[in-house]
C-alpha cells in the first residue's frame, strides 16, 4: 500500500481482497461430527467430502447460463450486421497500437449499443452501477457543480451525477447509437424534484467543444482505455476543468491477489466473451477486444503517472471488488 500524496503525489486505497477470499479458507469439521468407529474413519470421511466432485453442478450452471444468453440473444435488437472491428488477428497484436483504433472502437460501440446495458448488468453481476455510484461519491459533488461525463455511452454515469444533485451534467460521446440510448433512457428516467436532467451531445473527447475552465468535475467511466489518444484526452479534461476541479476515471484492472486474478482471467477471457457475444448477436469482436484491451492497457501506476503528467495532482486510486475495477481521482490546480 503506497501513500505518497502531498503536492502532486500518488496514493492507493487499500486493495483488500475482501470477504470472498476468506471463504476459500479450509474449514474444520465443526460441531456434530460423529465419533470415529475405527481409527482413521474420520480421516476417510473427511477425504470423501473433500473429493466430492462439483464439476457436474458447474457444467449444469454454465449450460443454463449459456442457454439463457442464447434466449436473450433472440430478443428484438440482437444480431448486428456490422463487419468485424476486431478480428482474432488484430487482437493478437496490441489493440491500443492500431492506427485506426478510433474508427474500430466507434464501429464496435455502434454495433453493440442495443445490448450494451444488458451485457453490463449481466456480466458484472449488477456491480457496474455500484462502481459508478462509488465514483460519484468520490467526486464529492456540490449543488453548484457542473459535470462533464466524457465517453458517456448510454449515460449511466451522467445520470448518477444528476441524481447526486449536480447543477448541470453534460454527457459527450462520439458514437451516436450510444447517445441515442442515453437520450431515450434519460427521457424515461424518474427524477427526484430539484434534480437536473443531463444533456447529451456528440463530441470526440480528444477535441472537446467547450471553452477552458468551465466544469467542476470531469468523469470518464470505462472510456479512457478505448480512446485512441488517452494523453490528449487527459490534456483536454485538464483544460476544461476549473481550478480545484476533479477528474474521476473509472476503469477495469487486474485483482492484486493471484488466485482472484486467475479466476478473473478465466471469466473475462473464456466465459464472458462467449456469453456477451451471444447476447449482443455481435460480429464486431467487441467482447474479445474487451479483455484484450484491459490486459494491454497501462497498469495502475503508469496511469497515475499519466494523470500527473497531464497536470493533475493529489492523484489517488481506489480499487473496488478486489481490484477488478479502479477509480482514479485527480485534482486540477492547488
Ligand X SMILES: C[S@@+](CC[C@H](N)C(=O)[O-])C[C@H]1O[C@@H](n2cnc3c(N)ncnc32)[C@H](O)[C@@H]1O
Window of 33-41, 73-81, 173-181, 265-273 that interacts with ligand X by CB under 6 A: 173-181
Q: What SS3 class is residue 184?
A: helix
Shortest distance, position 71 Cβ to ligand X, whole Å: 24
Question: Nearest-CA neighbor of 286 among 230, 219, 203, 226?
Answer: 226
Contact segment (CB under 6 A) with ligand X among 9-17, 33-41, 146-154, 312-320 equals 146-154
Least Å distance, CB 223 to ligand X, is 4
- Strand 325-332 relative to strand 312-320, pairing: antiparallel
Q: Which of 132, 331 has the CB closer to ligand X? A: 132
Does 174 engage in binding with ligand X (CB under 6 A)? Answer: yes
End-to-end CA distance of the chain: 25
**Whole-angstrom Cα distance, residue 290 to residue 104?**
13
CA 174, CA 200: separation in Å to the nearest integer?
A: 11
Residues found in the chain? 334
Write the interaction track for ligand X spanning residues 177-216; mark x where CB under 6 A is met and - where it is not.
Answer: -x-------------------------xxx----------
328 binds ligand X, rule: CB under 6 A: no
In whole angstroms, what is the distance from residue 169 CA to residue 190 CA? 16
Work out which of 15, 90, 159, 173 binds ligand X, going by CB under 6 A.
173
| Helices H / strands E in the chain, number of each | 14, 9
Spatial separation of the C-alpha atoms in residues 151 and 224, rounded to whole Å = 8
Instruction: Tell me the per-residue interface mask from 79 to 118 with ligand X, x by CB under 6 A, - otherwise.
Output: -----------------------x--x---x---------
Out of 69, 72, 84, 175, the residue judged to bind ligand X by CB under 6 A: 175
Closest to 252 in 3D by CA, of 307, 162, 324: 324
In the list 138, 147, 227, 276, the residue contacting ligand X (rule: CB under 6 A) is 227
Nearest residue to 276 via CA among 67, 69, 60: 69
64 contacts: CB under 8 Å, gap ≥ 6: none
Asked if 234 interacts with ligand X (CB under 6 A), we say no
Q: Which is nearer to ligand X, 73 or 151 (CB)?
A: 151
Using CB under 6 A, which of the segments 5-13, 188-196, 217-225, 238-246 binds ligand X? Answer: 217-225
DSSP H or E segment with residue 329: strand 325-332
CB of 303 to ligand X, least distance (A): 16
Residues that bind ligand X (CB under 6 A): 102, 105, 109, 151-153, 156-157, 173-175, 178, 204-206, 221-223, 226-227
Amino acid at each position: 500500500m503506497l501513500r505518497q500524496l502531498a503536492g502532486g503525489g500518488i496514493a492507493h486505497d487499500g486493495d483488500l481482497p475482501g470477504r470472498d477470499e476468506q471463504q476459500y479458507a479450509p474449514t474444520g469439521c465443526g460441531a456434530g461430527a460423529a465419533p470415529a468407529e475405527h481409527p482413521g474413519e474420520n480421516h476417510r470421511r473427511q477425504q470423501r467430502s473433500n473429493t466430492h466432485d462439483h464439476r457436474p453442478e458447474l457444467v449444469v450452471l454454465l449450460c443454463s447460463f449459456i442457454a439463457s444468453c442464447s434466449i436473450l440473444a433472440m430478443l428484438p435488437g440482437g444480431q448486428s450486421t456490422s463487419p468485424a472491428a476486431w478480428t482474432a488477428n488484430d487482437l493478437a497484436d496490441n489493440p491500443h497500437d492500431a492506427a485506426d483504433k478510433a474508427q474500430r472502437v466507434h464501429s464496435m460501440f455502434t454495433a453493440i449499443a442495443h445490448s450494451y446495458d444488458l451485457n453490463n448488468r449481466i456480466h458484472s453481476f449488477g456491480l457496474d452501477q455500484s462502481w459508478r455510484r462509488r465514483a460519484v461519491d468520490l467526486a464529492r459533488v456540490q449543488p453548484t457543480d457542473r459535470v462533464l461525463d466524457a465517453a458517456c455511452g448510454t449515460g449511466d454515469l451522467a445520470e448518477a451525477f444528476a441524481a447526486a444533485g449536480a447543477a448541470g451534467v453534460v454527457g459527450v460521446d462520439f458514437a451516436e447509437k450510444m447517445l441515442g440510448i442515453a437520450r431515450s433512457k434519460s427521457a424515461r428516467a424518474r427524477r427526484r424534484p430539484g434534480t437536473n436532467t443531463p444533456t447529451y451531445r456528440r463530441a470526440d473527447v480528444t477535441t472537446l467543444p467547450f471553452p477552458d475552465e468551465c466544469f467542476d468535475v470531469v468523469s470518464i467511466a470505462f472510456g479512457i482505455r478505448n480512446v485512441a489518444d488517452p494523453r490528449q484526452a487527459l490534456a483536454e479534461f485538464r483544460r476544461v476543468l476549473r481550478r480545484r476541479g476533479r477528474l474521476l476515471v473509472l476503469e477495469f484492472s487486474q485483482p492484486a491477489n493471484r488466485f482472484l486474478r486467475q479466476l478473473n482471467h478465466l471469466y473475462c477471457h473464456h466465459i464472458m466473451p462467449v456469453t456477451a457475444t451471444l447476447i449482443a448477436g455481435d460480429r464486431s469482436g467487441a467482447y474479445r477486444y474487451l479483455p484484450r484491451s484491459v490486459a494491454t492497457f497501462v497498469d495502475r501506476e503508469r496511469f497515475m503517472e499519466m494523470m500527473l503528467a497531464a497536470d493533475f495532482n493529489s492523484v489517488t486510486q481506489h480499487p473496488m471488488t478486489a481490484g477488478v475495477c479502479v477509480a482514479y481521482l485527480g485534482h486540477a490546480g492547488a
